[in-house]
Amino acid sequence: MTTTYRQPGVVLTDHRFTVPLDHADPAGETIELYAREVVASEKADRDDLPWLVYLQGGPGFGANRFIGRPAWLGRALEEYRVLLLDQRGTGASTPANRQTLPLRGGPAEQAAYLAHFRADSIVRDCELVRRRVTGGAPWTVLGQSFGGFCTVTYLSLAPEGLAAALITGGLPSLDAHADDVYRAAYPRIERKVAAHYARYPQDVERARRVADHLLAHEVTLPGGHLLTVEAFQSLGILLGGGEGSHRLHHLLEDPFVRTPHGPELSDAFQEEVRGLLSFAAHPLYALVHEAVYGQDDRPTAWAAERVRAEFPQFDAAKALAGDGPLLFTGESIHPWMFGCDPALRPLRETAELLAARTWTPLYDPARLAANEVPVAAAVYHDDMYVDTTHALATARSIRGLRTWVTDEFEHDGVRAGGPRVLDRLLALARDEV
pLDDT tens digits along 203-246:
999 999 999 999 999 999 999 999 999 999 999 999 999 999 99
Per-residue pLDDT, 18:
98
pLDDT, position 297? 83
Residue 134 to residue 123: CA distance in whole angstroms: 16
User: Cα separation of 233 and 228, whole Å?
Assistant: 9
175-193 pLDDT, tens digit per residue, is 999 999 999 999 999 999 9
d(CA 162, CA 327) in angstroms, rounded, equals: 42
Alpha carbons 32 and 124: distance in angstroms, whole number: 14
SS (H, E, C) 265-300: ECHHHHHHHHHHHCCCCCHHHHHHCHHHHCCCCCCC
Facing residues of 394 across strands?
A: none
- What one-letter code names the amino acid at 1? M
Q: Which residues of the chain have pLDDT under 50?
A: none
Pairing between β-strand 51-55 and β-strand 81-86 as defined by DSSP bridges: parallel
Bridge-based pairing state of the strands 256-259 and 162-168? unpaired
The pLDDT score that the predictor gives to residue 2 is 81
End-to-end CA distance of the chain: 42
348 within 8 A of 338, measured Cβ to Cβ: yes
- CB-based contact 414:421 (threshold 8 Å): yes
Q: Looking at 15, 282, 390, 411, which residue is catalytic? A: 411
* 22-51 pLDDT, tens digit each: 999 999 999 999 999 999 999 999 999 999
Cβ atoms of residues 68 and 44 within 8 Å: no
Phi and psi for 404 in degrees, rounded to 5?
A: -125, 105
Helix, strand, coil percent values for the chain (each to nearest 5):
45, 20, 40
Please tell me the class of the 3-174+363-429 domain.
alpha beta
Determine which one of 86, 125, 341, 383 is catalytic.
Answer: 383
> In one letter, which amino acid is 432?
E
Q: What is the pTM of this model?
A: 0.97
How far, in whole angstroms, is CA 303 from its chain's centroid?
Answer: 17
Q: What phi and psi values does residue 280 have, to the nearest 5 degrees?
A: -60, -35
3-state secondary structure string across 89-132:
ECCCCCECCCCCHHHHCCHHHHHHHHCCCCHHHHHHHHHHHHHH
Closest CA to 95 of 117, 124, 66: 117
Helices (H), 337-412: 337-340, 348-355, 365-369, 388-397
Q: What percent of the chain has pLDDT over 70?
A: 100
From edge to edge, which strands make up the β-sheet containing 30-40?
Answer: 3-7, 10-20, 30-40, 81-86, 51-55, 139-144, 162-168, 375-380, 402-406
Domain with CATH 3.40.50.1820 in the chain: 3-174+363-429
Residue positions counted in the chain: 433
Give yes or no: 145 in active site: yes
pLDDT at 1: 65
What residue spans of 8-160 are helical by DSSP H? Answer: 73-77, 107-114, 119-134, 146-157
Distance (Å, whole) CA 43 – CA 65 = 20
Q: What is the mean pLDDT of the chain?
A: 97
% of the chain exceeding 90 in pLDDT: 97
Q: Are 142 and 54 in contact (CB under 8 A)?
A: yes
